[in-house]
Structure 1
Amino acid sequence: MKKLLVSIVPLALAAMIGIAPAVAAEEEGATPHYPINHLKEVDWSFAGPFGTYDKGQLQRGLKVYTEVCAACHSMDLVAFRTLDDLGYSEDQVKSFAANYEVEDGPNGDGEMFTRTAVPSDYFPSPFPNTEAAAYANNGAAPPDFSLLAKARYVERGFPQFIFDIFTGYSESGPNYIYSLLTGYQEPPEGVEVPEGAHYNPYFIAGPSLAMAPPISDEQVTYDDGAPETVDQYSKDVAAFMMWAAEPHMEDRKHTGFMVIIFLAIFSSLMFLTKRSVFASKEH
């Protein structure tokens, strides 16, 4: 019993201070928790109640997605017309959409056909169906990028996750994407990685994943002079994916701020009214 308590107490303390993943991985015979490493935290421009998107970064992220990620990952819920939020003109959006072919129909003969995309269309999938996507990627279909930045939420542990509830912390998804893209490394001694898989201690579902490191330095050419490194590419595409998942975040924050101001003024007026009404009353 004493030995059991000795082994349980350190794990409980580790869980409280947020280092349980690393401790559990090191405990022999313990059930591992993923991700193994804590996420890298980035100073995002959209963080906090007054954060806003950096349109230059979003444009670079779109470039990384179209030149690298789009070969495997779909973005079915994002329409070309929404790219005007990134600072593009209507003509630029039309020109961008024209680079894609989409399936349409049926026509008068009852057959489906392909045509040049227009701004009202959505980003087409690189594969005709999920089975084809899985077959082309070692049996694992690449996830859709539309909502991935919101879906891949990793709690930061105690006590951070308590504060996150009240601060509206929403950077976990982008932090995860950035950490994953920059976290590929050789497996440590004693860790076996299946053939065709790649070790990454930031992966949320295990120690390795089927996706090989997708990007390398100088793979994408930037027009604004930003560093052409894996680190910068990862930040830019993670920010772009956050925008894709929540394009109206800035409006939401603005509306929330106005609501707080209204409630503060309303509460003050109600308090003053109450004092005025009951000022002459005996208590």
Structure 2
Amino acid sequence: MTRLLSPAATADVLADVLRTGFDPESAPPRTAVPVPAGELLLMPAADHAYAGVKIAGVAPGNPALGLPRITGSYLLLDGTSLQPLALLDGAALTELRTPAVSALAVRHLTPDDRPLRLVLFGTGPQAYGHLEAVLAVREVAETVVVGRDPVGARALAGYARTLDVNARAGTPDDVAEADLVVCCTTARTPLFDGTLVAPGATVVAVGSHEPTARETDTALVARAEVYVEARSAALREAGDLLVPLAEGAIGADHVAGTLVDLVNGRVPSGRPRFFKSVGMAWEDLAVAGALYRAVRAS
């Protein structure tokens, strides 16, 4: 899919949707159904041009079998007649749109006047996708990869070096020197000490959409300026926010802004910036529609 739509172009697609006046707060919620193998997710969305639905499976046992953890399909429909137009690989679509959402946030939350020091948590497909997406929108001085699997961390660092990036495997304490921290893991508990994050740094977390799972700790969230895709989705699904909220460390009004605010010119403060993404159906629809148009044009 990246041959049809680059990470930077995908981020542009999402920004264009938000600039048209679309309000993500109005997007239909995700439906999650527990099944013996894990979880089934149903994500519908529609606009004037297209409608669509992603059916995704989350199977935690798959990696041990040599299979992808995320599976699924995306059905794109004509927005007027609801006639089917295309069937897309749902996992590949997710691997394109999730890093693009992060890249859009990175464009607005990080400085563009110097190379950034990146710490990347994760070694799976989303980690590779996020590395490429960050490189598409920012110059990176160094990438430090932190993973539970040392072999996987070294492999991703080696891949970064093929992209002409100085890279190495590291530890969670490397966040102290980071300008940008990106978390794309299956962790259910915090990955690092949030007090180590520098005042001007940005943290992006995309790994969880469950109310009880989180990649960041309460210390970071409490001291950070928090941005989300939509307040309603974040306060429904983002454990990174819901756990500190349940602890009484933050209030429901702690979220400073959304992607809409950022693309429309909101300037972040000097505090640490935290962008929490849970993934939303409107993003899948926007990217699927752009891919369909690119195929038709080619």
Q: Taking structure 1 as the reference length, what is the TM-score of the superposition? A: 0.28
RCO comparison, higher one (Cα < 8 Å, 6+): 1
Q: Which has the larger radius of gyration?
A: 1
Higher strand share: 2
